[in-house]
Amino acid sequence: MPRIGAAGLWIAAFAVLIALPHVLSFSQQEILVFLTINVLLVSSYRLLTLTGEWSLGHVVIMGVGAYASALYAKSFGIWVPASMLLGAGTSALIAMALSYPLFRMKGFYFLIGSFAAGEVIRLLWKRMREPFGGPKGLKQIDPMPNFDLGPLHFNSFEPVSYYYFALAVVAVSLWLLWRIERSPVGLTFHAVH
Rounded to an integer, what is the distance from CA 101 to the centroid of its chain?
A: 24
Residues forming beta bridges with residue 149, ordered by sequence position: 152
> 161 in helix, strand or coil?
helix
- What pLDDT is attached to residue 152? 67
pLDDT in tens, the chain (193 residues): 456 677 788 888 888 888 888 888 889 999 999 999 999 888 888 877 887 777 777 888 888 888 888 889 888 888 888 999 999 999 999 989 988 888 788 778 888 888 888 888 878 777 666 776 666 677 777 777 777 766 667 777 788 888 988 898 999 999 998 898 889 988 888 887 7
Give the relative orientation of helices 159-181 and 26-49 as an angle to the nearest 10 degrees.
10
140 sits in the region (left: phi over 0; alpha: psi -120 to 50; else beta) called: left
- CA separation for the pair 28, 128 (Å, rounded): 32
> 103 in helix, strand or coil?
coil
- What pLDDT is attached to residue 74? 85
Backbone angles phi, psi at 38, to 5 degrees: -70, -25
- What pLDDT is attached to residue 1? 45
Residues forming beta bridges with residue 147, ordered by sequence position: 154
- What pLDDT is attached to residue 172? 92
The conformation of residue 182, written as its DSSP 8-state character, comes to: T
